[in-house]
């Protein structure tokens, strides 16, 4: 019972002091600029610019695919995407930023319009995304984890 009370007390202390961090507007601004750079790099088909926004050991978790781990694999992932799609544009406004020390997460929705090169048919997808970020030694931020999901039904299910 004593251990349970001690554990409960520690949890209350951590929740009270650990989660009451002041939001640093400089960090929020830097993270917003990072997401804007991501959009610009994606919309111009620049895989190298995208890779520069991720940590070297970053992980992308895409629907129905194995995890994409590390800079080289992330570059291949985006290059393959840019070869598969044409006339692509993504818009993904940020809905929330939470910063906890040297970690942060950013959440939003996306609207992706594209043409699959084999069909020449313009399509679109909508969904949700979340990215976890790490503060770098120089104080900048980089993406560490990316995960997203579509709100569109799977083909053949409607």
User: Each residue of 134-156: pLDDT tens digit?
Assistant: 999 999 999 999 999 999 876 66
Report the pLDDT value the prediction gives residue 106, as an integer from 0 to 100: 96
For 1-52, the pLDDT digits (tens) are 454 454 444 444 444 444 545 568 999 999 999 999 999 999 999 999 999 9
Q: Please say if the pLDDT value at position 60 is more than 50.
A: yes
Architecture of the 25-150 domain:
Roll (3.10)
For 1-14, the pLDDT digits (tens) are 454 454 444 444 44
Report the pLDDT value the prediction gives residue 116, as an integer from 0 to 100: 79
SS (H, E, C) the chain: CHHHHHHHHHHHHHHHHHCCCCCCHHHHHHHHHHHHHHHHHHHCCCHHHHHCCEEEEEEEECCCCCCEECHHHHHHHHHHHHHHEEEEEEECCEEEEEEECCEEEEEEEEEEEEEECCCCCEEEEEEEEEEEEEECCCCCEEEEEEEEEECCCCCCCC
Q: Please say if the pLDDT value at position 69 is more than 60.
A: yes
Report the pLDDT value the prediction gives residue 158, as an integer from 0 to 100: 58
Report the pLDDT value the prediction gives residue 37, as an integer from 0 to 100: 97
For 84-111, the pLDDT digits (tens) are 888 888 888 999 999 999 999 999 999 8
């Amino acid at each position: 019972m004593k251990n349970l009370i001690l554990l409960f007390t520690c949890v209350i202390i951590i929740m009270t002091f650990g989660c009451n961090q002041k939001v640093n507007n400089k960090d929020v601004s830097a993270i917003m600029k990072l997401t804007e750079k991501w959009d610009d790099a994606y919309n111009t088909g620049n895989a190298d610019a995208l890779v520069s926004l991720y940590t070297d050991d970053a992980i992308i978790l895409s629907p129905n695919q194995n995890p994409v781990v590390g800079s080289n694999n992330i570059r291949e992932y985006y290059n393959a995407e840019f070869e598969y799609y044409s006339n692509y544009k993504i818009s993904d406004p940020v809905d929330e930023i939470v910063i906890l020390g040297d970690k942060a997460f950013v959440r939003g929705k996306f609207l992706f319009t594209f043409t699959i090169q084999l069909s020449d048919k313009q399509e679109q997808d909508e969904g949700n995304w979340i990215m976890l970020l790490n503060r770098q030694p120089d104080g900048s931020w980089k993406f560490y984890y990316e995960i997203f999901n579509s709100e569109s039904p799977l083909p053949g299910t409607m």
